[in-house]
């Protein structure tokens, strides 16, 4: 591990930069609340209708397909219509679609609904993260992304908590989530004049950015597989080991609370230590946590503690990866690299839920933990192999 440097205090930030970061973070936090509410809510509703774990996983995987389809177009759309316009429109489209899940009950119709819902979610994440990254001071980018991860995680913890208050029946959870998302987009339009510009770009193809920083982009892939599958299927895992519905949803909240507490420390460490080593540490904790879950599953206190620590380090994949991208790219290239990062997350979102759902059907309920452990173990092995072949340089995060 490299010797830590000492980043200075935040560089001078203009009011417009500060305002832009606050608005972008608050907007994506509203999206996070709606997203974290929808994942366990839709999973529990489908389980109550007798849909198998495999089909729930396949339906959830529509999120990844939507993201893969829309990611290459996020930067061109933002360049043509403006980042704020596309960001706000994406959030509003997702908010309206969330209500559609309540009014449309046919299971087959939930496949196109998932596609539209997550296309909007993906564009919102790509553009808000670009917005935050481009405005963050170079020497404190990790800390800023840690703040972003922390606030977003608070939003993710609010969604499951809202379900505990509203329950899963009726329109209330859908209406509440959609309203929060829709309102979060209003400030984005209000500061349209301060939106980041995307004029600077190298002309490189979108595909080239997928492997421009492989340890970061493949971390996004693993995070997408585990986060998407886990958020949707962890409540079902809880139901199958004997928890009531509200307690099963609380398992997702434990993961989100871990994200809240650990993203600032991990973001700070990303500014002063080797990012590749931090990613390997996150993978190791992810593997060990998954391996422990079957042994503590019936003890709610122990389960919550494990998920708390586990969830924080899992989300570290995203925080450290985004920090790396911000240090490597600028302007339109940064937006394209961020879109590629989200696409790799989305590929994971396609594979993860289906694989975890199938694992739960083959070995109910502990197949979830086995599949997740395999994902993290594979990343740790690949990352270790790459680090041996490409010795770390001071401060490198490649």
Residue range 118-128, pLDDT digits in tens: 999 989 988 88
The Cα 327–Cα 224 span in angstroms is 22
Q: What is the pLDDT of residue 1?
A: 44
**Quick one: average pLDDT of 224-250?**
82
In this structure, of 92-106, 111-125, 127-141, 170-184, the range with the lowest mean pLDDT score is 127-141
pLDDT, average across residues 240-260: 82
Task: Dump pLDDT digits (tens) for 304-321.
Answer: 999 999 988 888 888 888
Phi, psi of 220 (to 5 degrees): -65, -40
pLDDT value of position 97: 94
Closest residue by Cα to residue 314 from 204, 220, 192, 180:
220
Confidence (pLDDT) at 392: 47
φ, ψ of residue 191 in degrees (nearest 5): -110, 35
pLDDT per residue over 30-41, tens digit each?
888 888 888 788
> What structural domains does the chain harbor?
17-196+206-389 (1.20.1250.20)
pLDDT > 80? residue 281: yes
Cβ-Cβ contacts under 8 Å for 47 (sequence gap 6 or more) = 56, 236, 239
Nearest to 280 by CA among 330, 219, 229: 219
Tens-place pLDDT, residues 308-359: 999 888 888 888 888 877 777 776 677 777 788 888 887 887 788 888 888 8
Query: How far separated are the first and last CA of the chain, in Å rounded?
Result: 14
Question: What value does the mean pLDDT take over residues 241-250?
Answer: 81
DSSP state string for 220-274: HHHHHHHHHHHHHHHHHHHHHTT--HHHHHHHHHHHHHHHHHHHHHHHHHHHHS-
Residue 328, pLDDT score = 73
Specify whether the CB–CB gap between 122 and 66 falls below 8 A.
Answer: yes
Measured CA to CA, the distance from residue 286 to residue 348 in angstroms comes to 15
């Amino acid at each position: 591990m490299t010797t830590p440097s000492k980043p200075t205090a935040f560089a001078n930030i203009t009011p417009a930069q500060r305002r832009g970061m606050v608005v972008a973070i608050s907007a994506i936090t509203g999206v996070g609340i709606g997203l974290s509410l929808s994942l366990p809510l839709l999973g529990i509703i489908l389980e109550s209708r007798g849909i198998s774990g495999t089909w729930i996983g396949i339906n959830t995987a529509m999120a990844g397909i939507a993201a893969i389809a829309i990611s290459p177009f996020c930067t061109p759309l933002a360049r043509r219509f403006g980042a704020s316009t596309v960001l706000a429109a994406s959030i509003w489209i997702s908010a309206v679609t969330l209500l559609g899940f309540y009014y449309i009950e046919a299971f087959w119709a939930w496949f196109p609904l998932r596609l539209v819902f997550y296309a909007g979610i993906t564009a919102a994440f790509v553009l808000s993260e670009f917005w935050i990254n481009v405005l963050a001071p170079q020497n404190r980018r990790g800390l800023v992304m840690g703040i972003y991860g922390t606030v977003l995680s608070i939003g993710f913890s609010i969604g499951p908590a809202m379900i505990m208050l509203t329950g899963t029946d009726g329109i209330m959870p859908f209406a509440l989530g959609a309203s929060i998302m829709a309102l979060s987009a209003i400030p984005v339009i209000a500061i349209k004049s301060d939106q980041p510009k995307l004029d600077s770009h190298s002309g490189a193809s979108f595909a080239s950015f997928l492997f421009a920083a492989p340890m970061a982009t493949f971390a996004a892939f693993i995070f997408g597989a585990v986060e998407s599958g886990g958020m949707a299927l962890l409540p079902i895992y809880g139901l199958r080991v004997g928890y009531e519905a509200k307690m099963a949803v609380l398992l997702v909240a434990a993961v989100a609370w871990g994200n809240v507490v650990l993203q600032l420390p991990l973001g700070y460490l990303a500014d002063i230590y080797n990012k590749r080593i931090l990613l390997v540490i996150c993978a190791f904790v992810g593997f060990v946590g998954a391996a422990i879950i079957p042994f503590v599953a019936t003890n709610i206190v122990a389960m919550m503690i494990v998920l708390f620590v586990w969830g924080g380090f899992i989300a570290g994949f995203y925080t450290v990866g985004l920090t790396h991208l911000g240090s490597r790219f600028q302007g339109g290239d940064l937006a394209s690299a961020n879109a590629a990062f989200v696409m790799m997350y989305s590929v994971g979102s396609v594979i993860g839920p289906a694989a975890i759902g199938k694992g739960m059907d083959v070995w109910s309920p502990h197949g979830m933990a086995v599949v997740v452990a395999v994902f993290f173990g594979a990343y740790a092995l690949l990352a270790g192999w790459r680090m041996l072949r490409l010795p770390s340089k001071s401060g490198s995060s490649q």
